[in-house]
Structure formats: C-alpha cells, structure tokens
Amino acid sequence: MNAQLDPRKGLSDQADRDWWRGAVIYQIYPRSFQDSNEDGIGDLPGITRRLPYLASLGVDAVWISPFFRSPMKDFGYDVADYCDVDPMFGTLADFDTLVATAHGLGLRVMIDLVLSHTSDQHPWFAESRSSRDNARADWYVWADPKPDGTPPNNWLSIFGGSAWQWDSRRRQYYLHNFLTSQPDLNLHNPAVQDALLGVARFWLDRGVDGFRLDTINFYFHDKALRDNPPLPAEARNDTIAPAVNPYNFQEHLYDKNQPENIAFLGRLRALMDPYRAAAVGEVGDAQRGLEILGEYTRGNDRIHMCYAFELLSKTRPTAAFIAEVMATVDRVARDGWPCWAYSNHDVERHASRWALPAEALAAYATLLMCLRGSACIYQGEELGLPEAELSFDDLRDPYGIEFWPEFKGRDGCRTPMVWESGAPNAGFSEAARTWLPVAAAHRAQAVDRALADPASLLHHYRRAIALRHAHPALAKGTQTGLRAEGDLLRFTRRHGAEEIFCAFNLGPAPAETTLPAGAWAPIGTEAGTAPVSTGRAQLALGPWQAALLRRTGD
C-alpha cells in the first residue's frame, strides 16, 4: 500500500476492521452533485468542495458512482478505462485530493466498480472482437448463432430485447445484459478475473476504502448457455425492470446468479482485507434477492455486505412488509450482513414513489438508522426531494427513452443537487445549461433553506445518524422480536450490555403497543422519538412517530 496515496490519518477508527458494519453511506451521483468548472456537469473537485457538508451530516463514508473514462452511453456504467478519470470529471490528481480531503474529515471513500461488463470502446473489447484467436478472444461472452442465424438462446437484456448482439467481425453474437454497447466480460476466464482484481488493487493503492459493486450477481453466466424458463405470471414483479419490459417474463436461472461467483468474491475479499476495505454489492434479482444476499455475505471470506431491492420497492413498505422482509433475512441471511436503501440513482425517489408527507419521511429516516444492517442515503434524500418532472426532450437516460411514456427512466432522480435556493441553477453550476435541468420544485428544499430551519428534514437526518452512532446496539447489534401490530412495527436491538426497544408507527393514525417487562428510559427525543414516561407498561404513539427506549434494569 502506498502511504503517500493513502492518507488515512484523519480516520478516527483505523483499528476497526468492521467499520462498515452499521455504517451510514452517502451516495454521490457525480454528474449531478457539484460543478466546479461551469460546464454544467458535476465533477470531482465539486465533490471535494462539498465534503464538509457530508461530514457535518455525520455519515461514515461516501459512495461515488462511476467517474472512469467512458463514452457515457450509460453515464459511466460503460467503462472504457478502469484506471483513469474521465476528463469531464477531472484527473487522477483531483481524485487523490478528494480522498485526502475526505480522510482528513473522517470520511471513507467507496467507489462504484462495474465488473460484469465494459463499454464496447474498451481496448479489451476492441481486441476481443478483432478475431477468434487473439490474446483476448475469450475475454467476453461470444457464441455462434443457431443454425437459422438467430441468437444462441432466449436470454433478454434489462434494457429491452435480446441480450445478444451480432458482431460482423467475428460472425458471432456477444452477450450484453444491459445496452448493446455494454458487452459482458467472461469471468470464467481466470485472466479476466486477474485483470479485474488488478483494477481493484489500483484503486485500493490510491487510498479508497471500499467499493460498491454494480450488478454483483451478473458476473458469471451458465457455460452451457441454457435457455431461461418462463416465469409464471403470478410470480412476476417489476422490482428489477419496469412492468413494460419482457425481462420480467423469464426466470433468470442461467444468465446470472451462478455458483462460480462465490469463489471470485472470495478472491476479491482476500485482496481487500489487508487494506481494511469493504464492499457492498448490488443484488439485482426479483425472486431470490435476499437469498443471494445471504449467500454472498455469509462468513468472513465472501463480500462484506449486499443490498437487495426490497426497500427500494415501488409501494410503501408497511410494518407488515418490513416484518416479513426481516424474517426472511433472519432465515436466509442470518450469518450475512444487509445494507438498506430507500432511494438510489436507478429508482424514483421514495418521497414520490411512496407519496409520503414530511413527518412520514422523518419516521422512515429514523427507521433506517435503527434496522440491523448498514444504510445508504442517496444525495438529496436528506432534503426530502421528490422525483423531478421532466419532458421527453429533457431525457438523457436510454432506458427512459426506450420505454417512454409508460416508464420515464431514471433521469427524474438524477437531476442536479440544490444547494442555494436563489442562486443560478440552485448553486449546482454557473453554466448557462446543465446536463439535466435543475428542478424548479426542488429550489424551496435547497440546502441553505434546510440549514436555516431547525425543523427541516436535513436536521432530522443529522440527529438520526448521530443517534445511531451514539448507540452500538443500533449500529451493530442483533435484532430480535420483530413483529407488526397493524401499522406499528416493533423490535429489539442488543449489543453487549446495551438493549434498545424500538417501536415505529408507520401510519397516519395513533397506535399503541405494550412495552416489554423491565425498566426502560427513552432515548433519541432530540431526533423526534416519543418522550415516553418511565414506568408505564403501555406505549402510545402518534401518527408517523417512533419510540426508542433503553433498558435500565430488570
């Protein structure tokens, strides 16, 4: 490890190899966070400028979506060079400055690694497609057509249509689970695995503290290229792909979720451990997401944590739904570690998706800080930003353009961050035009206004995060006794000698529950939890209210 490129002296818990367990991670979409050079696109120096804001929020780490060299067909998730910064975002020196500044503020830096596929502009693919016998001929997933010229099997792309694209150079099809310009790497080839581990090592040596692993369950495909079976209509859902996408019509047994992935994750974990780095994997599966989460995070020789899509759900997670999800986690991932998120760069913002009033957003924020697992916050979530309304002419996302108007794509959650309500482009950029328009409706919720209002959601997030940090039981403890009583969700967190009883009214009407036996004292009243009188057996909660009590005696 290069000490000059790894200035971790500002991190307060260097000795804690499990810093990631219970961490609060803030996701930055770099195109939309802060522009520093007036070109209308966010960049790395812009992120560095705003790091003190994130430190004041109290988060443990930042996750930065891709900033590598890319033709930007999928806005950085199509990588053309894993080991360089795209000029629109800055330089490697800018990245080094960002890492050093973050560490000086006590923030860890996680970057988004896209290991399942590259851009078709990557030199690896240029060589691979040039012939069937070059040094990288087997670095991607190539297959001959069927005798009638059609693709080798029935696999579908998440972005619509066949997952196979004909290449006239090799007269073969190549696999692309996403855009046709995103060919899938062949991780069955040990040389490909070695190259990807080399990428991870490059960034670890530069000082990063971990990775968000895009589409972690897509790394391997079935070598025999067997057809996926149809999925019964009653089993379909639009968790991973919109309902208008035929991707939902298949049971994806063979194009992802292959058992060979476990060994590769072990190799990646072994590489990361000496750096005290951690990774969170995105599990994209509509039927087996939590089960795969359990498989991938079990023990100490796989990946540290994963998130599935249960709390990124289209409909508001009720008390009963959360209890069911957590029961499933207990059954299939008891020895693993989840990471929960309500919003990210791929889904409609949850303030709109769940149609929540401000007090409900606060209740769900506190809940996120109390559930067993780590937590991700997407930029602007702490302001309560709703989904931005965009016209078709404003769209940049190929997913939305393909399925408009039934599915409007992901641009509505990717519009620029609002910093100053009265400034040009709300303080994001001084450019005449930004890559996506700043949502006019967001200006009233800009950071400057939220900071000036002690009752704002931003201040609530700060207090809720501080509450999690103040109590090891909330960050790293066990979770037991979880059940729903109508709209009321209750459970207990324990770590060492600390035991905390949690109750959440996730509904618009008052609710009551019975306290467990023993002596309890309320905590977190500064974060809006109910100021419960001690010695009472019955707990009454108002609409969208939480109560947290710490055991003080038997």
DSSP for 498-539? Answer: EEEEEEEE-SSS-EEEEPPSSEEEEE-GGGT---PPTT-SEE
pLDDT in tens, the chain (554 residues): 333 344 455 565 544 889 999 999 999 999 999 999 999 999 999 999 999 999 999 999 999 999 999 999 999 999 999 999 999 999 999 999 999 999 999 999 999 999 999 999 999 999 999 999 999 999 999 999 999 999 999 999 999 999 999 999 999 999 999 999 999 999 999 999 999 999 999 999 999 999 999 999 999 999 999 999 999 999 998 888 888 899 999 999 999 999 999 999 999 999 999 999 999 999 999 999 999 999 999 999 999 999 999 999 999 999 999 999 999 999 999 999 999 999 999 999 999 999 999 999 999 999 999 999 999 999 999 999 999 999 999 998 888 888 898 888 899 999 999 999 999 999 999 999 999 999 999 999 999 999 999 999 999 999 999 999 999 999 999 999 999 999 999 999 999 999 999 999 999 999 999 999 999 999 999 888 888 765 668 899 999 999 999 999 77
Q: What pLDDT is stored for residue 533 in this prediction?
A: 63
Q: Report how far residue 173's alpha carbon sits from residue 129's, in angstroms, rounded to the nearest whole number.
A: 10
CA-only gyration radius of the chain, Å: 23
Instruction: For each of the domains in the chain, give its residue range(s) and CATH number, in order of start.
Output: 3-118+189-467 (3.20.20.80), 478-553 (2.60.40.1180)
SS3 category, 272: helix
Length of the chain in residues, anyone?
Answer: 554
Q: What pLDDT is stored for residue 7 in this prediction?
A: 46
SS3 category, 476: helix
Q: Report how far residue 410's alpha carbon sits from residue 72's, in angstroms, rounded to the nearest whole number.
A: 15
214 is catalytic: yes
Q: How many helices (H) and strands (E) does the chain have?
A: 13, 20
Check 60, 74, 214, 411 and give the catalytic one: 214
User: How much of the chain is helix, strand and coil, in % rounded to 5?
Assistant: 30, 20, 50
Question: Of 305, 279, 276, which Cα lies nearest the Cα of 292?
Answer: 305
Count how many Cα atoms sit within 13 Å of the Cα of residue 548 in the half-sphere of its side chain: 25
Count how many Cα atoms sit within 13 Å of the Cα of residue 207 in the half-sphere of its side chain: 25
Q: What pLDDT is stored for residue 153 in this prediction?
A: 98
Question: Of 536, 481, 485, 480, which Cα lies nearest the Cα of 510?
Answer: 485
Check 35, 94, 112, 282 and give the catalytic one: 282
Q: Report how far residue 69's alpha carbon sits from residue 88's, in angstroms, rounded to the nearest whole number.
A: 9
Q: What pLDDT is stored for residue 471 in this prediction?
A: 98
SS3 category, 165: strand
